[in-house]
Amino acid sequence: MNQFWSDFVKELKPYVPGEQPKEGEFVKLNSNESPYPPSPKAVAAMDKALAKGLELYPEAEATPVRETVAKYYGLTPDQVFVGNGSDESLAHLFNGLFRHNGKKILFPTITYSFYPVYAKLYSIPYTEVPLADDFSIDITPYLAASPDEVCGIIFANPNAPTSIALSLETIERLLKEQPNILVVVDEAYVDFGTQTAISLIQRYPNLMVIQTLSKSRSLAGIRVGFAFAQAELIQALTRVKNSFNSYPIDRVAQAGAIAAFEDEEYFNKTRHMIMASREYLIKEVRGLGFNVLPSAANFIFMSHPKLDATKIASELRERKLLVRHFKQVPIDQFLRVTIGTQENCENLVKALSEIVSKGI
């Protein structure tokens, strides 16, 4: 290949997800997946979809999925976009709405690392806004942004990897004071103790909410994620998507998604188990001297005043426990730990207690 293409390809930097080891090799506390299997009703619905009809294309607009989810949230189906994971919904949003409009986007310095990757891939100008000293999102700089220069603001709520949530009142204030800027709230972790902003959609045409089945509904493997907004914005995503592939998600995923939304009991049971284990884990690791940020997510973000995060991560790895370490300043001394089953959490506490007493 000639030098031009060789250099060009090197500059394409994809998003790098957490390590996915061979099954059974490690206890995976590094990718914020659910430790529990999906709802048995969702599994049965997917089995049924597998048994009959795969020779046919899926429902062309995933209408039954959009109807089910719209009803669940008090929206209309034209206010729901379905994609292969929320990453795909985000990609279409970046491509369709943030690209080519001559303005920049804002997001926190510490947030989901997909945003800068996609901004770069699509040549979208962006500014990273520092977090407050307590690692929460300070909305003051966003309130001061000029709509002549800025087209969008995006952040995760709760934020990742910090786990801290913004209140609905704060988000509403931003929407109200910046009516000409599109505010995107990525709610991948909203079901673990934060209020969704979906209730604000009818009143704010400048709001888009992103959600996923990958976390609280234990379906990371089927790749289903959503964007919610007023119909006009959803239209933009649909148009961009249809240029790539007019079928939103496959038949099996459509069946699983509908059944998962219909099984509220299982959803509530598993997310409450995760939240209870989170409170247990926070209490125990604080007892071991860790500083833990207030978490509204299915993970915690913690550091130890005396122990090096790289070393803790590698000690845990030796004990077959995988956690996530970001080398980025100022969070390079933190570890992000996904809440596993209660047993996983107890084993993690045992391992951390050994590591702390050894004092690596």
Least distance CB 219 / ligand PMP (angstroms): 9
Least distance CB 210 / ligand PMP (angstroms): 7
Beta carbon nearer to ligand PMP, 260 or 352 = 260
Q: Which residues bind ligand PMP (CB under 6 A)?
A: 85-87, 112, 156, 160, 186, 188, 212, 214, 220, 225
Kind and range of the H or E element at 110?
A: none
Least distance CB 212 / ligand PMP (angstroms): 3
Beta carbon nearer to ligand PMP, 186 or 284 = 186
Beta carbon nearer to ligand PMP, 160 or 207 = 160
Least distance CB 113 / ligand PMP (angstroms): 9
Beta carbon nearer to ligand PMP, 68 or 212 = 212
Least distance CB 22 / ligand PMP (angstroms): 20
Beta carbon nearer to ligand PMP, 249 or 307 = 249
Least distance CB 125 / ligand PMP (angstroms): 22
Both structure tokens of 283 = 């209490």
Beta carbon nearer to ligand PMP, 220 or 231 = 220
Least distance CB 228 / ligand PMP (angstroms): 14
Beta carbon nearer to ligand PMP, 230 or 338 = 338
The DSSP secondary structure of 155-202, one letter per residue, reads: EESS-TTT-----HHHHHHHHHH-TTSEEEEE-TTGGGT---SGGGTT
Classified as helix, coil or strand, 255 is helix
Q: How many CB atoms lie within 10 A of CB 340?
A: 23
Beta carbon nearer to ligand PMP, 85 or 351 = 85
Closest residue to ligand PMP: CB criterion: 85
Which residue type sits at 255? A
> How far apart are the C-alpha atoms of 283 and 290, rounded to whole Å?
10
> How far apart are the C-alpha atoms of 47 and 335, rounded to whole Å?
38
Buried b / exposed e over 213-252, threshold 16 CB at 10 Å, is: bbbbbbbbebbbbbbbbbeebbebbbebbeeeeeebbbbb
Contact status, residue 17 vs residue 32, Cβ threshold 8 Å: no
Both structure tokens of 129 = 């806004």
> How far apart are the C-alpha atoms of 73 and 70, rounded to whole Å?
5
E strands, the chain, in order: 27-28, 80-83, 104-108, 126-129, 150-156, 182-186, 207-212, 225-229, 291-292, 299-303, 321-322, 324-325, 334-338
Least distance CB 188 / ligand PMP (angstroms): 4
Q: Which residues contact 350 (CB under 8 A, 6 or more apart)?
A: none
Name the pairing type of β-strands 291-292 and 299-303.
antiparallel
